[in-house]
Amino acid sequence: MSHIIHRSLQSTPLTAVGARGIHIMDAQGKAYIDASGGAAVSCLGHAHPDVLAAMHAQTDKLAYAHTSFFTSEASEELASHLAAHAPRGMDKVYFTSGGSESVEAALKLARQYFVEIGQPERTLFVARGQSYHGNTLGALAVGGNEWRRRQFAPLLMDVGRVSPCYEYRGRQDGESQDAYTQRLLQELDAKFQEIGPQRVIAFVAEPVVGATLGAVPPTPGYFKGVRELCDRYGILFIADEVMCGMGRTGTLHAVEQEGVVPDLMTIAKGLGGGYQPIGAVLVRAEIIEAIRQGSGLFQHGHTYIGHPMATAAALAVQKVIQRDQLMPQVRSRGAYLMRALQAKFGQHPHVGDIRGRGLFCGIELVRDRASKATFDPELKLHARIKAQALANGLLVYPMGGTVDGRHGDHVLLAPPFIVSEADVDQIVNRLATSI
Ligand code: PMP
């Protein structure tokens, strides 16, 4: 038995001993296609020579210097790169060591901003149901996954909750897409009114919903409407792009495709591409300027923020994405993956929905296509698919939606941006065999 506290305390996971390109090898010498990129992390695949070289060079130069004394060349260069490619005005960067830390930092930055500008009565966040924003207490509180929250509920801050934008299940029979979008926005407006809009700090949402629903894009105009409502009441909009960001959906930031600029945006996973643990919050300059002119100090921080090894690796990842023009490639391979999924599962009796953006795709499994009835949660269908896919040499990211009885099991695919069309065919074939 392992001495490590693994997530499952009843079994030990496989031991990974090596990885190259889109494959991971286990201790028995078996190779798996990494079709989930871990959990939408590995954007360049494994052992990319440019990233390894940058990491080696950084180790020789400087591995660590505490941010209370020093910044580093790697961190400054990465921040400049992120600022140059951020949505308009979001040119301030706060580094973290991962997704949950980014969400915590974003929540605290937003709160501190209002204290500094003399609106301390803003104390509440509004977020959506069936969402995931991380596992630390603040991030868990804004998340709307009841199964993850229930043991810790008494420890969590109150959060206003609205429905997610989830067309497959949310849109009613005969309701137009636009009417559905307007209904969601009315619900959000009503929630702000119920709380008192002057008490709300921020609305938190994932532009394309990843882990909880399986690559669900928003309806057209939804985030434009969110932005308008937030502006009307002076509420901040925090886009959580930890999973859907950093090129996964075919643009560097998923929210770009919605034509809106958030106030804060959390990123992680693909930022370091799995080479180092790193995340960040991109912030509109005015927010930081207000804090600078106020107390002049962001009341937050962790020992490893802006770690030179992490920022050097992430910078190398970003340079490869740019040099190799991987964004158009994500769009074209993503379209190919979507067509392959449609061809394989479009008529499948137990596949109710196929959706996604770029190389971020999901299929939702149902007992019955017509009624959209879900499978019995006791079947643990998602876990069985994961096990069968592993046996077939395929890593996918399935999730049991039925924990709250409101959506089906789904399988999320998020392969590295370097997948070829032949790789995509193999992924879809192995997935079909696994289902
Ligand atoms: N936000 C979102 C949208 C995520 O998908 C995740 C991780 N799945 C997190 C936050 C938390 O990130 P981490 O696991 O790196 O703490």
Mutation to probe ligand 1, out of 133, 208, 265 (largest number of atoms < 8 A from CB): 133
As given in the structure block, the two tokens for residue 243 are 């999973």
End-to-end CA distance of the chain: 31
Residue 403 has a pLDDT of 47
Mutation to probe ligand 1, out of 243, 255, 399 (largest number of atoms < 8 A from CB): 243
The rounded Å distance from CA 54 to ligand 1 centre is: 26
d(CA 98, CA 78): 16
Tokens 């038995």 sit on residue: 1
Q: Whose CA is nearest to atom 5 of ligand 1?
A: 243
**Residue (of 207, 261, 269) closest to 236 by Cα position:** 261
- Residue 281 beta carbon below 6 angstroms from any ligand 1 atom: no
Angle separating helix axes 421-434 and 326-345, nearest 10 degrees: 40
**Contacts of 244 by beta carbon, 8 Å cutoff, 6+ apart:** 40, 206, 207, 208, 209, 210, 215, 254, 357, 360
Return the ligand 1 atom nearest residue 134 CA: 11
Q: DSSP string spanning 175-212?
A: --HHHHHHHHHHHHHHHHHHH-GGGEEEEEE-SSB-TT
Answer for the pair 410, 399: CB distance below 8 angstroms, yes or no.
yes
Q: Which domains does the chain have, with CATH numbers?
A: 16-47+325-434 (3.90.1150.10), 52-323 (3.40.640.10)
The H or E element that residue 399 is part of is strand 397-399
**Contacts of 391 by beta carbon, 8 Å cutoff, 6+ apart:** 434
Answer for the pair 416, 45: CB distance below 8 angstroms, yes or no.
yes
d(CA 382, CA 407): 12
The rounded Å distance from CA 412 to ligand 1 centre is: 14
Residue 395 has a pLDDT of 98
Residue 404 has a pLDDT of 55
Burial of 352: CB neighbours in 10 Å, binned 0-12, 13-18, 19+:
buried
Answer for the pair 80, 270: CB distance below 8 angstroms, yes or no.
no
Q: Whose CA is nearest to atom 15 of ligand 1?
A: 99
Residue 10 has a pLDDT of 86
CA angle 418, 90, 199 (to 5 degrees): 120
Residue 190 has a pLDDT of 98
**Residue (of 400, 417, 405) closest to 365 by Cα position:** 400
The tens place of each residue's pLDDT in the chain, 435 residues long, gives 789 999 888 888 999 999 999 999 999 999 999 999 999 999 999 999 999 999 999 999 999 999 999 999 999 999 999 999 999 999 999 999 999 999 999 999 999 999 999 999 999 999 999 999 999 999 999 999 888 899 999 999 999 999 999 999 999 999 999 999 999 999 999 999 999 999 999 999 999 999 999 999 999 999 999 999 999 999 999 999 999 999 999 999 999 999 999 999 999 999 999 999 999 999 999 999 999 999 999 999 999 999 999 999 999 999 999 999 999 999 999 999 999 999 999 999 999 999 999 999 999 999 999 999 999 888 889 999 999 999 999 999 998 865 455 678 999 999 999 999 999 999 999 999 999
Residue 401 has a pLDDT of 66
**Contacts of 53 by beta carbon, 8 Å cutoff, 6+ apart:** 316
Residue 146 has a pLDDT of 85
